[in-house]
Amino acid sequence: MIKDIRIVSRRFNLPQSHTLEVARQHGAYRSIETLTERTPEGIIAAVEASGLRGKGGGGAPTGAKWRLMEGEFDGRPKYVVVNADESEPGTFKDGHILSKDPHLLIEGILLTCYALGAHDAYIYIRGEYYERQQILQHAIDEAYEAGILGQSIMGHDYRVDLTVHRGAGAYICGEKSALLESMEGKRGHPRLKPHQKEPEWYFGNPTLINNVETIATVPFIVTEGADAYRQYGTERSPGTLLFALSGHVNRPGVYEAPFGTSLMEYIEHYGGGIRNGGTLKAVIPGGASTPVLTADEAAQARLDYESMQGLGSALGTGGMIVMDESVDMVEALKNLMAFYHHESCGQCTPCREGTGWVDAILARILAREGNRDDLKKLLDISETMNGKTVCVFAPAASSVIDAMVQKFETEFLRYLDTGGAA
C-alpha cells in the first residue's frame, strides 16, 4: 500500500494556495526568515548531500551542477534561470507548481540565488501557460510588495530580482541552451555542447538552469535537511517526484510519489486503475520522449531512473501516458512523430529532415500505401537521427520510433499486409 508523501505538493490542496497569505500561513518563506542562520556553502552542501537529481527529464545531479557556478568568473554577474517551458506531451507537473504553489518556487529561487551569489533570476515560462503565468506574476507582485523579493529580501542585506520571460511556443526552447538563446532574443537553437564541464552562459555570464520542480524541492532540503529528503526514494534516486498521469486511467492528474514506487501500484492507487476496467496495453513512462513500455515491461517497472534504464526506457519527466487495448500503436506513433516533426527546430540535418520523413512514411502506412521496406526504412532513418545532432531531441525521437516499431511490429505489419502495396 502506498503512503502519501508530500514534499513539493504539500500545499496543493489548500484553497487559495497560490496566494501569499495562505502560503505563509502554511509555512512558506520560513527558510528565508532564518536565512542568516545559513551560509551559501551550507545550502549547496545540503543540496549535494540530498542527492537531488534534476527533475526536468535528464536527472543530472543538482549539487554538481551548482558547484559549476563556484568561482569568480572575472566578477561577471551570475544568473539563475528556472526552466518552466514544460511542453512535453504527457508532462504537466510544473504547471501544477506554478498555479498551485508559486510561492514555493519563489522561495526555492531565493535560496538558490543566495547559495550561488546570484541577484537576478528569470523564469522562462511556456507561452501557452498563459493563466499559470498570470498566477505566477501575481505571486511575484505580492512577494515584491511584501518585501520578499527586491532590494533586501525579507530584510536581509541581499538583493534578488525575479523576472518572468514568456516563451513563444517552441518545444525546443525547453532545452536549456536553446532556452538561453531564446532569452537572449535569438532563434531558439540549441548550442554546441561545451568541451569541458562548465555552467551555462546567459549573455556570456555564468548561469544556472534548473527545472521548476527541482528548485521547488530546495526549500524542503534546506529546512528539513538532506537526510529527511533521502529517507524517501532509492539510493541512487533519492526523494520524490511529481508524477503526472494521463491517458486511459480513471483519475488522471499530478500525484507526488517517492522514487522506486512500483509503476502498476502507482497507476492503481492514484489513477484508480485502467478506464472502464480495460486492460493495459502500453505505458509511455516519462513524457513523449521516452520509449514505450509494453504491459509486461510495465508490470516490472519501478518509478526510478535505474529501473527504467534497465527496461530500455527512461524516467524522463515522470509524465506517464497510459494506453489501454483501444489504442492503435501505428496511430500513436504517427501522433508522436507529428509532434516531433512540428517541433524540430531545424538546426541539424538528421533531425530536421529525419522527423519529417518518418512522419511522411507513417502517414503513408496509415493510408495503407506502405510496403514492408518501410519498416526497415523507419529504423534506418532512426539510426541516422540517433547521436548525430547537437541536442537530444532527435535521439529521443529515434528511441521512440525504435521502441514502437520493434515492440509492436505486428500492428505495423497488419497495415502493410492488408491492402497495402506489395
Positions touching another protein (CB under 8 A) are 170, 187, 189, 192, 195, 341-357, 360-361, 364, 377, 380-381, 383-384, 387-390
Least separation in angstroms between CB 377 and another protein: 6
- DSSP per residue, 34-100: TGGG--HHHHHHHHHHHT-B-TTTT--BHHHHHHTT-S-GGG---EEEEEE---STT--HHHHHHHH
Rounded least distance, CB 290 to another protein, Å: 20
Q: Which is nearer to another protein, 11 or 341 (CB)?
A: 341
- Alpha-carbon span 115 to 119, nearest angstrom: 10
Separation between Cα atoms, residue 15 and residue 19, nearest integer Å: 9
| Least separation in angstroms between CB 393 and another protein | 10
User: Is the CB of 107 or the CB of 343 nearer to another protein?
Assistant: 343
Select 196 or 276, whichever has its Cβ closest to another protein: 196
Helix (H) or strand (E) holding 154: none
Q: Which of 52, 98, 354 is nearest to 214 (CA)?
A: 52
> Considering the complex, what minimum distance in angstroms separates the CB of residue 360 from another protein?
4
Residue that has been written with the C-alpha cell 518572468 in this structure: 164
The residue among 30 and 342 lying less far from another protein, judged by its C-beta, is 342
Q: Is the Cβ of residue 113 or residue 390 nearer to another protein in the bound state? A: 390
Which is closer to another protein, CB of 186 or CB of 236?
186
CA–CA dist 239, 227 (Å, integer): 10
Altogether, the residues listed in the chain come to a count of: 422
Least separation in angstroms between CB 343 and another protein: 7
Nearest distance from C-beta of residue 288 to another protein, angstroms = 16
* Rounded Cα gap, residues 363 and 368, in angstroms: 9
Of 239 and 354, the one with the shorter C-beta distance to another protein is: 354
As to burial, measured by CB atoms within 10 angstroms (0-12 exposed, 13-18 middle, 19+ buried), residue 175 is buried
Q: Which amino acid is at 23?
A: A
Nearest CB to another protein, comparing residues 161 and 353: 353
CB 346 to another protein: min, Å = 4
Q: Which residue has the cell 539510493?
A: 235
- At 104, the amino acid letter reads L
The answer to whether 96 and 217 have CB atoms below 8 angstroms apart is no
Q: Which residue from 112, 136, 286, 138 is spatially nearest to 209, judged by alpha carbons?
A: 112
Min separation Cβ 42 and another protein, Å: 37
> Which residue, 237 or 344, has its beta carbon nearer to another protein?
344
- Is the CB of residue 310 less than 8 Å from the CB of residue 335? no
Q: Which is nearer to another protein, 170 or 320 (CB)?
A: 170
Selection from 81, 62, 376, 23 nearest residue 239 by Cα: 62
As measured in angstroms, the least distance from the Cβ of 396 to another protein is: 15
Dist. CA 334–CA 356, nearest whole Å: 11
Considering the complex, what minimum distance in angstroms separates the CB of residue 200 from another protein? 17
